[in-house]
Amino acid sequence: MRLIGLLGGMSWESSAEYYRLANELVRERVGGLASARLLLHSVDFAEVERLQAEDRWDEAGVLLAAAAAGLEAGGAELIVLCTNTMHKVAPAIEEAVSIPLLHIGDVTAHAVRAAGLRRVGLLATAYTMEEGFLRERLAGHGLTVLVPDADDRALVHRVIYDELCLGVVTEESRQAYREVIARLVAAGAEGVVLGCTEIELLVDQSDSHVPVFPTTRLHVEAAVTAALAGD
């Protein structure tokens, strides 16, 4: 089993899900007392969030690239960046290491295409919904990506940073997300990408009449498959 390097802490709430899911999936696939071989570098999210808010993405890239290099030095054989938003600096990370970075956009796109869909809505942080780094990655796989309107984007973003990243999950926000999903479906979305790793703490398939694509679970499933392949 290959050693997976988890680059997390953005937020630690979602990174805890990565850790839990990886171990559960390995146990399911291997059996017995098997668990995942993991090496975790968890950053201080307050520092990363400050760089995001101040549009200092190059500095964020340097920070995460150094962390990824540390994971490789520690023996990691592939890197999993436990966040959608920070895939904005994925090129900086890839330049800093010689091992593969398993890109969350590619994993998600493959799942959408496997489901036979081409037009999906995207729920994520404002950075991810409004900038092109993830939408264009998905589009590169032949997908059309819809995002909510400005008010809905602000709502989705606020819930992520003010609630989910702090471990706060409320029924009020769950209902608000359901309504955003319904509006995306009314606009033509055949499915919905949960494009922020914390969103899966709030909504799942039961909250949508169209297929949802939980990027955290999809990312972990792909990482475990790669780790168990051992090549």
102, 80 contact by CB (below 8 A): yes
**Which pLDDT value is given to residue 128?**
96
| Interatomic CA distance for residues 61 and 48, integer angstroms | 10
Tokens of 10: 């953005």
**Which pLDDT value is given to residue 203?**
97
Q: Going residue by residue through the chain (231 aa), what tens digit of pLDDT does each one get?
A: 999 999 999 999 999 999 999 999 999 999 999 999 999 999 999 999 999 999 999 999 999 999 999 999 999 999 999 999 999 999 999 999 999 999 999 999 999 999 999 999 999 999 999 999 999 999 999 999 999 999 999 999 999 999 999 999 999 999 999 999 999 999 999 999 999 999 999 999 999 999 999 999 999 999 999 999 975
Residues with catalytic annotation? 83, 196
125: phi then psi, degrees, rounded to nearest 5: -65, 160
The pTM of the full predicted model, rounded to 2 decimals, is 0.94
171: left (phi > 0), else alpha (psi -120 to 50), else beta?
alpha
**Which pLDDT value is given to residue 231?**
57
- Residue 206's CB: how many other CB atoms inside 10 A? 7
117, 129 contact by CB (below 8 A): no
207, 177 contact by CB (below 8 A): yes
Q: Return all residues near 206 (Cβ < 8 A) that are at least 6 apart.
A: none
Helix residue ranges, H only, 74-211:
90-96, 104-114, 126-130, 132-139, 150-162, 171-186
Closest to 148 measured CA to CA, from 174, 172, 182: 182
59, 89 contact by CB (below 8 A): no
Helix, strand or coil, per DSSP, at residue 62: helix
Q: What is the DSSP letter of 101?
A: B
Tokens of 192: 């919905």
| pLDDT tens per residue, range 45-74 | 999 999 999 999 999 999 999 999 999 999
Amino acid identity of residue 141, one-letter, is H
Place of tokens 């990370």: 93
Place of tokens 């995001």: 52
